[in-house]
């Protein structure tokens, strides 16, 4: 039995990294791998990890991301010392064979791996942002303390280039999703809930109400669509995840009221997203920052055509045959693309989107590529130990 230690540095309530990691834990062959998941504190995902067969542990974790105050780095340096000691104890107690950290800013597990001679790898869920030098520095630490680094898209590789040098440890592995069964059941519950006419079309987005999701640009697009395409309704499923985002949500609701956008519907947090997607006609991703939004894959798997902004790995997910990609922060381009898609052969785009997911973005493919990397690292480790 191979014991894998997964490190997730945030006790999330809304998914993100947990959603991706949970897919991996669920799909592991439990006759071969025994997963352990380390979190900094309890979260709603604890029960889900345990149901998927993982043992969940809690530990102090140190992150070195964007500073929130002047004491951010000193505070996390102290945490790092405590984290290394606690993680070292976990590794020895549970006989861990490999350490897989998620998020590039978390340090500790990779250092413990180097100290104890255990293979380590890190999945980077980030894109280069300003100041780029800071991201390149953290990327250098990832390079030094890991045997392999998984990136989700080509754009993340920029952080691992330093002048004429680049990391030789990078492996690109796309996130994958579990495909829904076909055929999709017909359901008009959403249209009844919103009081829509049968002839109306629905363009839906599913997103946290956060500035990085660019919802204000979708509202600006809706302002123009209200007059040109009154039968096209904009549905927004999602809510804030952090207290700091409540101001942004208030701004969005105020904009809807000010512009009298009766063609826009805020659904709030929903637990029936797959069903909502099946009832929509178009999926829209208006993000200004996103690394590899799996909700795009979920929409494509549901047979929806996609209108998305050119962020992160989106151009590697959406082709001209499955959707339209537009520049971020451009409400006019977003509006024109949604209108064009609403007037196009949406079913043709949707079929191609589902084919792409089935070919390149399944959970099985994601898991097989990841476990192949585990076997490669563990095989190298065995050779070094026997030498």
Nearest to 377 by CA among 27, 127, 120, 93: 120
Rounded Cα distance between 268 and 247, Å, is: 15
How many domains is the chain partitioned into structurally?
Answer: 2
Does residue 111 contact residue 145 with C-beta atoms inside 8 Å?
yes
Mean pLDDT for the chain?
93
Q: Are residues 280 and 377 in the same domain?
A: no
Does residue 312 contact residue 155 with C-beta atoms inside 8 Å?
yes
**Residue 147 belongs to some domain of the structure:** yes
The predicted structure's pLDDT at residue 385: 54
CB proximity list for 15: less than 8 A, separation 6 or greater: none
Q: Are residues 280 and 369 in the same domain?
A: no
Using DSSP's 3-state secondary structure scheme, residue 198 falls into: coil
Q: Are residues 128 and 236 in the same domain?
A: no
pLDDT of residue 357 exceeding 70, the answer is yes
**Residue 183 belongs to some domain of the structure:** no
pLDDT, one tens digit per residue, over 277-330 is 999 999 999 999 999 999 999 999 999 999 999 999 999 999 999 999 999 999
Does residue 8 contact residue 38 with C-beta atoms inside 8 Å?
yes
CATH number where 122 lies: 3.40.50.2000
Backbone φ and ψ for 10, nearest 5 degrees, come out as -125, 135
**Residue 182 belongs to some domain of the structure:** no
Q: Are residues 166 and 56 in the same domain?
A: yes
Which strand (E) or helix (H) includes residue 65? none
**Residue 250 belongs to some domain of the structure:** yes
Of 219 and 18, more confident: 219
Q: What is the mean pLDDT of residues 154-162?
A: 96
Nearest to 360 by CA among 158, 152, 204: 152
Does residue 267 contact residue 239 with C-beta atoms inside 8 Å?
no
pLDDT, one tens digit per residue, over 111-134 is 999 999 999 999 999 999 888 888
CB proximity list for 94: less than 8 A, separation 6 or greater: 3, 5, 36, 55
**Residue 307 belongs to some domain of the structure:** yes
Does residue 125 contact residue 291 with C-beta atoms inside 8 Å?
yes
pLDDT confidence band for 181 (50 / 70 / 90):
low
Rounded Cα distance between 267 and 249, Å, is: 13
**Residue 269 belongs to some domain of the structure:** yes
The residue range of the domain holding 311 is 189-360
**Residue 172 belongs to some domain of the structure:** yes
pLDDT, one tens digit per residue, over 221-232 is 999 999 999 999
Q: Are residues 155 and 14 in the same domain?
A: yes
Instruction: Specify the residue for token string 């076997």.
Output: 375
Q: Are residues 13 and 156 in the same domain?
A: yes
Which strand (E) or helix (H) includes residue 205? strand 201-206
Q: What is the mean pLDDT of residues 241-254?
A: 92
Does residue 147 contact residue 138 with C-beta atoms inside 8 Å?
no
Tell me the CA end-to-end span of the chain in Å, nearest whole number: 23
Q: Are residues 105 and 201 in the same domain?
A: no
pLDDT confidence band for 185 (50 / 70 / 90):
low
Instruction: Specify the residue for token string 């585990």.
Output: 374
Radius of gyration of the chain measured on its C-alpha atoms:
22
Distances (CA, A) of 107 to 17, 83, 85, 142, 178: 16, 9, 12, 8, 30
Which strand (E) or helix (H) includes residue 185? none
- Tally Cβ neighbours within 10 Å of residue 174: 18
β-bridge mates for residue 43, sequence order: none
Q: Are residues 77 and 52 in the same domain?
A: yes
pTM for the full predicted model: 0.89
Q: Are residues 172 and 74 in the same domain?
A: yes
pLDDT, one tens digit per residue, over 79-100 is 999 999 999 999 999 999 999 9
Does residue 343 contact residue 141 with C-beta atoms inside 8 Å?
no
Rounded Cα distance between 169 and 120, Å, is: 11
Rounded Cα distance between 179 and 169, Å, is: 30
pLDDT, one tens digit per residue, over 13-69 is 766 789 899 999 999 999 999 999 999 999 989 999 999 999 999 999 999 887 778
Rounded Cα distance between 350 and 302, Å, is: 8
Rounded Cα distance between 359 and 369, Å, is: 14
Rounded Cα distance between 328 and 127, Å, is: 15
Tokens of 371: 């476990």
Q: Are residues 356 and 370 in the same domain?
A: no
Burial class (CB in 10 A: 0-12, 13-18, 19+), 237: buried
**Residue 356 belongs to some domain of the structure:** yes
Q: Are residues 153 and 251 in the same domain?
A: no
Biggest CA–CA distance in the chain, Å, is 73
Rounded Cα distance between 128 and 158, Å, is: 7
pLDDT confidence band for 346 (50 / 70 / 90):
confident
Backbone φ and ψ for 35, nearest 5 degrees, come out as -85, 135
Q: Are residues 146 and 62 in the same domain?
A: yes
Burial class (CB in 10 A: 0-12, 13-18, 19+), 114: middle
Rounded Cα distance between 9 and 349, Å, is: 38
pLDDT confidence band for 195 (50 / 70 / 90):
very high
């Amino acid at each position: 039995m191979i014991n894998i230690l997964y490190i997730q540095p945030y006790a999330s309530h809304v998914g993100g990294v947990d959603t991706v990691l949970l897919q991996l834990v669920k799909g592991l062959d439990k006759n071969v791998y025994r997963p352990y998941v380390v979190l900094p504190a309890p979260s709603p995902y604890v029960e889900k990890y345990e149901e998927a067969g993982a043992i969940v542990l809690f530990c102090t974790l140190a992150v070195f991301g964007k500073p929130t105050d002047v004491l951010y780095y000193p505070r996390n340096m102290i945490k790092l010392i405590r984290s290394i000691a606690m993680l070292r104890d976990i590794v020895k107690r549970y006989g861990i064979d490999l350490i897989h950290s998620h998020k590039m800013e978390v340090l500790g597990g990779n250092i413990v791996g180097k100290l104890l001679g255990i293979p380590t790898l890190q999945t980077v869920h980030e894109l280069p942002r300003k100041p780029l030098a800071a991201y390149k520095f953290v990327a250098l630490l990832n390079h030094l303390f890991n045997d392999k680094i998984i990136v989700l898209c080509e754009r993340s590789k920029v952080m691992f280039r330093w002048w004429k040098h680049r990391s030789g440890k990078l492996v690109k592995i796309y996130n994958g999703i579990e495909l829904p069964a076909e055929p999709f059941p017909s359901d008009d519950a959403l249209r009844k809930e919103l009081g829509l006419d049968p002839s109306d079309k629905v363009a839906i987005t599913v997103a946290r109400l956060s500035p990085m999701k660019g919802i204000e640009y979708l509202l600006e697009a809706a302002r123009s669509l209200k007059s040109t395409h009154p039968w096209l309704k904009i549905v927004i499923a999602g809510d804030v995840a952090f207290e700091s985002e409540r101001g942004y949500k208030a701004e969005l609701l105020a904009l809807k009221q000010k512009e009298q956008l009766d063609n826009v519907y805020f659904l709030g947090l929903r637990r029936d997203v797959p069903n909502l997607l099946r009832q929509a006609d178009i999926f829209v991703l208006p993000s200004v920052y996103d690394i590899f939004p799996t909700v795009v894959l979920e929409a494509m798997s549901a047979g929806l055509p996609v209108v998305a902004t050119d962020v992160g790995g989106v151009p590697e997910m959406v082709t001209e045959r499955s959707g339209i990609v537009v520049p971020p922060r451009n409400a006019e381009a977003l509006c024109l693309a949604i209108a064009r898609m609403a007037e196009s052969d949406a079913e043709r785009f949707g079929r191609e989107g589902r084919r792409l997911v089935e070919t390149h973005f399944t959970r099985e493919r994601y898991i097989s590529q990841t476990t192949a990397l585990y076997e490669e690292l563990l095989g190298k480790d065995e050779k070094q130990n026997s030498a």
